[in-house]
């Protein structure tokens, strides 16, 4: 069993929410991937849609994240979020103004013309802003979809070219109808089909572990954190306790109660797990 071909690609412009966007898309049942913003458009042919993430840069800064401009005429719908909207406007002949103080926090979005992106949403809704620059003049052919009291172009669209942008962050919980906005983009605009069920991911990963490990055994240093705990557990399920060994090293510099906490987590797997007391080596 292998992962399906991504229907959506999220291009990473350095934003802190990039992987959250990807997760939200998968939560809606659509498999997607994350790639660098400069990914060539030709390698994205066949995608049903592309999302440009936010980021801390300004489109006017030297070395700021860029995209292959051919992406905007590839034929696949594109959604720019925050910096992604600004970059889209900048490349297509709009105007982006440098912000002096920026806007960080909750704002009330007023919908001017919902189109497909904001369809079936209230005319006023809470959104989360985190930006400095703003789009002040729309690119030719674009229509303003929404605004806030301090952001003239909070959402825009060129429906004919399937290009969309939002200045706010639909991927965060503070944007009350953000999930619906992403759903509108995926299903109404991109025509995605649901091909991803997170519940089936574990079995796929376990099969991949067996293929990679072959007949070898696997040794882990585990910390009790999410990453190592999940990896260790998946390997145990895939290979069995006779082929997997996990060790937690107590250096004496751990947080109070951490070692006992980790010991408790792995107690059900005590035959494949051990705590190594290495305090004398470190202190």
Domain that includes residue 13, residue range: 8-189
Residues 170 and 216 placed together within one structural domain of the fold? no
pLDDT at 270: 82
Tokens for 97, please give them. 């103004």
Q: 265: domain CATH number?
A: 3.40.50.620
Q: 143: domain CATH number?
A: 3.40.50.880
Distance (Å, rounded) from C-alpha 27 to C-alpha 179?
A: 10
Angle at 135 between CA 134 and CA 140, to 5 degrees: 175
Note whether residue 266 is domain-resident. Answer: yes
CB of 147 closer than 8 Å to CB of 110: yes
Note whether residue 1 is domain-resident. Answer: no
pLDDT at 2: 62
- Residues marked active site are found at 82, 169, 171
Provide the b/e sequence for 138-149 (b: ≥16 CB within 10 Å).
bbeebeebbbbe
pLDDT digits (tens, 9 = 90+) for 75-94: 999 999 999 999 999 999 99
Neighbour count for residue 262 (Cβ, 10 Å): 21
Provide the b/e sequence for 212-225 (b: ≥16 CB within 10 Å).
eeeeeebebebebe
Q: Output the pTM of the full model.
A: 0.78
Residue 55 — pLDDT band, cuts 50, 70, 90?
very high
How many separate domains does the chain show? 2
pLDDT at 216: 96
pLDDT digits (tens, 9 = 90+) for 144-159: 999 999 899 999 999 9
Pairing of strands 244-250, 273-277: parallel
Residues 34 and 161 placed together within one structural domain of the fold? yes
Which among 131, 165, 189 is the end of a domain?
189
Residues 6+ apart with CB under 8 A from 99: 131, 132, 133, 134
Residue 283 — pLDDT band, cuts 50, 70, 90?
confident
Which among 131, 164, 189 is the end of a domain?
189
Residues 223 and 136 placed together within one structural domain of the fold? no
pLDDT at 15: 83
CB of 228 closer than 8 Å to CB of 197: no
pLDDT at 100: 63
Tell which wins on pLDDT, 3 or 237: 237
Residues 202 and 185 placed together within one structural domain of the fold? no
Residues 79 and 60 placed together within one structural domain of the fold? yes
Residues 22 and 159 placed together within one structural domain of the fold? yes
Calculate mean pLDDT across residues 164-190: 97
């Amino acid at each position: 069993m292998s992962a399906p071909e991504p229907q959506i690609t999220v291009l990473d412009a350095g934003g802190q929410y990039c992987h959250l966007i990807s997760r939200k898309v998968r939560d809606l049942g659509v498999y997607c991937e994350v790639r660098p913003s400069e990914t060539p458009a030709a390698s994205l042919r066949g995608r049903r849609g592309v999302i440009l993430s936010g980021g801390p840069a300004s489109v006017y800064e030297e070395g700021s994240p860029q995209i292959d401009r051919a992406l905007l005429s590839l034929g696949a719908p594109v959604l720019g979020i925050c910096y992604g909207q600004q970059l889209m406007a900048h490349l297509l002949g709009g105007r982006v103004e440098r912000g002096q103080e920026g806007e960080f926090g909750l704002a009330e979005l007023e919908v001017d013309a919902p189109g497909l992106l904001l369809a079936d949403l209230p005319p006023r809704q809470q959104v989360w802003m985190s930006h400095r620059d703003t789009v002040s003049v729309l690119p030719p052919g674009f229509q303003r979809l929404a605004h806030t009291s301090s952001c003239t172009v909070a959402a825009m669209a060129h429906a004919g070219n399937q290009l969309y942008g939002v200045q706010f962050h639909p991927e965060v919980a503070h944007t009350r109808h953000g999930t619906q906005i992403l759903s509108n983009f995926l299903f109404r605009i991109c025509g995605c089909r649901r091909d991803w069920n997170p519940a089936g991911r574990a079995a796929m990963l376990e099969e991949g572990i067996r293929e990679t490990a072959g007949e070898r055994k696997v040794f882990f240093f585990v910390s009790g954190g999410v990453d190592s705990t999940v990896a260790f557990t998946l390997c145990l399920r895939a290979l069995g306790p006779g082929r997997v060994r996990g060790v937690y090293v107590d250096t004496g510099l751990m947080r109070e109660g951490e070692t006992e906490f980790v010991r408790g987590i792995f107690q059900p797997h005590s035959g494949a797990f051990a705590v190594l007391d290495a305090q004398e080596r470190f202190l």
